[in-house]
Amino acid sequence: MRRSGPMGAAFLITAKDLRQRLRDRSALLVAVVAPLALAFALGVTISGFSAGSRTFQLGLVDLDHGPAASGFSRAAADTPVTLQDAGTRARARRLVKDGKLDAAIVLPRGLSAATLGGASVRIDVIGDPKNSIGTLVARSFADSYASYVRTIAVASRALGSGSAATVKVAGEVASAKSPISVGDVSTTKKNLDPKTYYAAAMAVFFLFFAVQFGISSLLNERSDGTLSRMLAAPIPRRSILGGKVMTSLALGLTSMIVLALTTRYALGAHWGNPLGAGALIVCAVLAATAVTALVATFAKTAEQANAWLSIVSVVLGMLGGSFFPVAQAGGVLATLSKLTPHAWFLSGLQDLSSGGALGVIVEPALVLLAIAGGCGAVALVRIRRLIEP
Amino acid sequence: MRVLAIVRTELTRVFRWRANIFFLLIMPMGLILLLGMAFGNSNTRVGVVKGESGSLARQLVAELGLQPGLETRSYGNKSALEKAVERGYVSAGLVIPGNYDRLLRTGKPASIDYFARPDSLAPQVRLAVEAAVSAQGSDLTAARIFQRTRGGTLGGALERVSAVKVGSPVGVRLLAAGGGKYPRSRGQFQQSASTQLLLFAFLSALTGAVWLIETRRLGVARRMLSTPSSTREIMLGIMLGRWVITLMQSLLIVVFSWLVFSVNWGDPLGTGAIILAFSLVAVGAGLLIGTLFASEQQAAPVGMIVGLTFAAIGGSMAPLETFPATMRKIAHITPHAWANDAFNTLLVNGGGLSSVWLDVVVLCAYALVLLTLATWRLRRVLTS
């Protein structure tokens, strides 16, 4: 059945646009392939498949040949650190430099004696500045040992006793349970993994490109001369506009839904309550369509529109935290971030996927709708100049 | 020279389009600024809820702040901190219980809740927290031993122990594996400058594929072929044109970031070699994409996808050293990883050209393969 009237014409235009975009595959690339590829790349590199289980290989150079080395090995038991004998100092340096070890710790001669009140010594931590994390891990590890030795020194000094007593104190310190324990409760937290973040971040980043195939294609129609032909046909202008808006909405919604489902099932991203995620997606698509429509009304040619839209989409995406959690910086950047639809969409989704009730999306959804309404209204006032031959 | 005329035309076409200035220059500089501001001090942030904030709790927080590479942020309550960890504003969270001081001062054990994002920084933070805790635990354990031996109250013992001003008989010193002192932390914009240079040089060269397609679509290529210039001259002109644009962009980023953000670019020979080799790789990849696709609508998104994905995998978005080991190996499929490695050697360890020659050779090999493929394709699409 062929629909007629203004709505029918609008649908025809939408259908024509969608066919065109599907045929040259550009929509597929921008709306699906690009965000998926990037969500995968960022999810894998930044979060890693098993980042939580990363262990650090530290080399141990034992010049002390006393009980200190075994104390070190004991201390490594419950930490993400694996100690291995690195032989000599020179060999340890080479292994660290070649990246075979994350860092190395040199236990100096006299370390065990220093523990029991002997002369002061120094533990050397050999690190590669390129592997600053490994170096810091080794450093913290050595620092903890230094604190342990300090405990013995402080207790013996306070007691004011001789060397025989120091040995006894050392024994007590070694067997003393730490008064402060650090309980890792990370696993009991709702797992808000970077995978979900980047899936959503890339989806909303490329959403701004996907919706450009709608309104801003009016400029292409004009330069190709097809707009004049549409205007010459018995089609009301609002049908042309309606058709273009529907193209944007259809592409945006399809893109977001396909991405949500694909990342959910293929990457294991948590989008949270489907109803809430759906509502946020609809609001984000409306906001993206309105923002791009507004930008397009300022352009004179299709090339100009493309350039400005790319700039606006990239800047908003960067500030909105699509690539880096910008809000981490605090201050001006965090405030600027709040001006972007991306930031609101992402924070709403994060609250939702960390197990929040539906209520958590009210504020971000309203802000997105306000952006859509505000930009949409101004765009509507200015849009007549786009629908002119 | 006909080749130079083609180069000049390419340059004119690119710079006549103003938006290119934004993408080639303003955008990378903006990101260097943004990333430098957000992550430049390279400290890992740990959020803390201090509870009732007794002196021991405050001391622990101060001790945490003293840990190298760590920085603390205060949060009012646990749920605010949880949210901050989830959103990645801080890497880990510590909740010091409200009765922390009371427990410890009465000789009871205290437990601190710790939670972290499941990312690769987590182990480092965890060990730094342990180090801070053991530093504080030092006095407490000593006081307990004192009390057990001499009797009296734990409070008295703590006072007695705190009066002992003695450092640890064991010091810790950092040494660089390459010899010499371990370098101090780098400038705020140091890391982002070299990674973003690579990201944008590659990305712009790839999205530049669109210009090659336009050259064909508008018939510029056909008109060039109808002149007495040989195909070889035209191809050389197109390639040189793209290379000059990429080099100009890189040079401007280097100069501007040096002037505006005082970024140190290390040994000029080494940096020059990396940039020359990497820009050839980028140009080769861009030309290849430009010859593999028929329309701008296809080439532009493909260029963006490949450009951004390679940057992400190759360590231009998150530093390679934070990657899990397997991922770091996979990363070296991309030219970015080799170039990032080379820049690290040069800028972090202060090496020269001789220390990065292997990376540069690998980049040249990439360039050779890509440019050969691109030349072969280019000849076909220009003459068919």
More confidently predicted of A203 and B188: A203
Cα B268 versus chain centre, distance: 21
Q: What's residue A330's pLDDT?
A: 65
Cα–Cα distance, B15 to B29 (Å, whole number): 18
- Residues in Cβ contact with B14 at an 8 Å cutoff, skipping those fewer than 6 apart: B20, B208, B211, B245
Task: Report in angstroms the alpha-carbon separations of A229 from A9, A21, A79, A223, A233.
Answer: 14, 20, 72, 12, 6
CATH number at residue A134: 3.40.1710
- Pairwise pLDDT comparison (A329 vs A132), residue with the higher score: A132
- Chain B residue nearest residue A55, CA to CA: B123
pLDDT for position B118 = 65
pLDDT at A1: 43
Cβ distance of B110 and A49 shorter than 8 Å: no
How many angstroms separate the Cα of B48 from the Cα of each of A268, B45, B71, B345?
Answer: 30, 10, 10, 35
Read off the amino acid at residue B241. G
CB contact under 8 A, B115 and A186: yes
Dist. CA B311–CA B297, nearest whole Å:
22
Q: Do residues A74 and A215 both lie within one domain? A: no
Query: What does the alpha-carbon distance between residue B342 and residue B360 come to, in Å, rounded to a whole number?
Result: 8
Last residue of a domain, one of A177, A201, A225: A177
- The one-letter amino acid at A326: V
The number of folded domains in chain A is 2
What residues of A are in contact with residue B71 (Cβ under 8 Å)?
A: none
Distance CA B264, CA B259 (A): 10
How far away is chain B from the Cα of A286, in angstroms, using its nearest Cα? 23
Residues A44 and A58 in one domain: no
Nearest chain B Cα distance for residue A125, angstroms:
5
Contacts of A33 in chain B (CB under 8 A): 301, 305
CB A82 within 8 A of CB A130: no
Shortest CA distance to B168 belongs to which of A70, A65, A144, A175?
Answer: A144
Of B112, B173, B348, the CB nearest to A124: B173
**pLDDT at position A238 over 90:** no
Structural domains of chain B, with CATH:
2-38+188-383 (no CATH), 43-137 (3.40.1710.10)
User: What pLDDT does residue B361 have?
Assistant: 96
Looking at beta carbons, which residues of chain B come within 8 Å of A354? 86
Phi and psi, residue B272, nearest 5°:
-60, -45
Q: Does A331 lie in the same domain as A292?
A: yes
Q: Which chain A residues are within 8 Å of B141, Cβ to Cβ?
A: 151, 155, 173, 176, 178-179
B353, B358, B361, B363 alpha-carbon torsion, rounded to 10°? -100
Q: What is the pLDDT of residues A30-80, one digit of tens each?
A: 888 888 888 888 777 765 544 455 678 899 999 988 888 887 887 777 777
**Is residue A184 one of the residues assigned to a domain?**
no
CB A275 within 8 A of CB A363: no
Of all residues in chain A, the one with the smallest CA distance to B331 is: A45
A74 within domain boundaries: yes
Please state the rounded mean pLDDT for residues A238-251: 87
Residues 6+ apart with CB under 8 A from B16: none
Residues 172-231 of B with CB under 8 A from A: 172-179, 182-183
Average pLDDT over residues A117-125: 87
Binary contact (B145, A173; C-beta < 8 A): yes
**Considering A147, A177, A207, which residue would you say is the last residue of a domain?**
A177
Instruction: Pick from A144, A313, A332 the residue to mutate for testing the B interface (most B CBs within 10 Å).
Output: A144
Instruction: Using the structure block, give the residue that is written with the tokens 């001062």.
Output: B105
- Residues A163, A207, single domain; the answer is no
Can you give the pLDDT at residue A188? 47
- CA A258/CA A249 separation, integer angstroms: 14
Same domain, A224 and A256: yes
Distance from CA of B213 to the nearest CA of A (A): 15
Q: Do B324 and A140 touch (CB under 8 A)?
A: no
Residues A257 and A292 in one domain: yes
At A161, the pLDDT band (50, 70, 90 cuts) reads low
Closest partner residue to B149 (CB to CB) among A47, A133, A159 is A159
Q: Which of B68, B87, B113 lies at the smallest CB-CB distance from A350?
A: B87
Query: Which residues, 6 or more positions from A162, have their beta carbon under 8 angstroms from its beta carbon?
Result: none
Residues A87 and A43 in one domain: no
- Within-domain flag for A344: yes
- Strand-strand pairing, B92-95 and B110-116: antiparallel
Let me know if residue A152 belongs to a domain: yes
How close B235 comes to chain A (CA, Å)?
Answer: 26
> What pLDDT score does B33 carry?
81
Nearest to A140 among B67, B179, B322 (CB): B67
Q: Is the pLDDT of residue A81 over 70?
A: yes
Do A197 and A222 belong to one domain?
A: yes
Listed in order, strand segments (DSSP E) in A29-72 are 56-62
**One-letter amino acid identity for B238?**
I
What number is the average pLDDT over the span A274-302?
Answer: 90
The DSSP symbol for B183 reads: P
Query: Are residues A357 and A213 part of one domain?
Result: yes
Q: Tell which B residues from 36 to 75 touch A, by Cβ distance under 8 Å.
A: 37-39, 42, 45, 60, 67-69
Strands A180-184 and B110-116: parallel
A148 inside domain: yes
User: Residue A180: beta bridge partners?
Assistant: B110
| Environment class of A70 (CB within 10 Å of its CB; exposed 0-12, middle 13-18, buried 19+) | exposed
Has residue A185 been placed in a domain? no
Mean pLDDT, rounded, of chain A: 83
Q: Which residue has the tokens 């050259």?
A: B215
Cβ contact, residue pair B172, A125, below 8 Å: yes
Gap from B144 CA to chain A (nearest CA, Å): 9
Q: Name the strands in the sheet holding B92-95, side by side, starting at the edge strand that comes first in the sequence.
A: A180-184, B110-116, B92-95, B44-49, B70-74
Q: Confirm if B64 and B96 have CB atoms less than 8 A apart.
A: no
Determine, yes or no, domain membership for A182.
Answer: no
Q: What is the pLDDT along chain B (384 residues), one digit of tens a residue?
A: 778 888 888 888 777 777 778 878 888 888 888 777 776 666 778 899 987 668 888 888 998 888 887 888 889 888 888 888 877 778 888 999 888 888 888 888 888 988 887 666 677 788 888 888 888 888 888 888 888 888 888 888 888 888 887 778 888 888 888 777 777 666 778 778 898 899 999 998 988 888 888 887 777 777 777 787 788 888 888 889 999 999 999 999 999 989 988 888 888 999 999 999 999 999 999 999 988 888 877 788 888 888 888 998 898 887 887 777 778 888 999 999 999 999 988 888 788 888 899 999 999 999 999 999 999 998 888 877
Q: Rounded to whole angstroms, how far apart are CA atoms A341 and A346? A: 9
Q: What is the DSSP letter of B91?
A: S
Residues A321-330 as b or e (16 or more Cβ within 10 Å = b):
bbbbbbbbbe
Q: Which domain holds residue A137?
A: 54-177
In this complex, which of B136, B324, B349 lies closest to A180 when CB atoms are compared? B136
User: For residues B362 and A213, which has the higher predicted lDDT (pLDDT)?
Assistant: B362
Q: Residue A373 pLDDT more than 90? A: yes
Nearest to B130 among A29, A37, A144 (CB): A144
Q: Looking at the structure, tell me whether residues A135 and A214 fall in a common domain.
A: no
> Can you give the pLDDT at residue B272?
94
CB–CB contact A181 B111 (8 Å)? yes
How many angstroms separate the Cα of A206 from the Cα of each of A83, A202, A226, B206?
Answer: 45, 6, 27, 18
Answer yes or no: do B305 and A37 touch at CB < 8 A. Answer: yes
A60 & A105 share domain: yes
Share of chain A above pLDDT 70, in %: 92
A163 & A222 share domain: no
Question: Of A121, A145, A177, which residue is a domain's last?
Answer: A177
- The answer to whether position A18 is within a domain reads yes
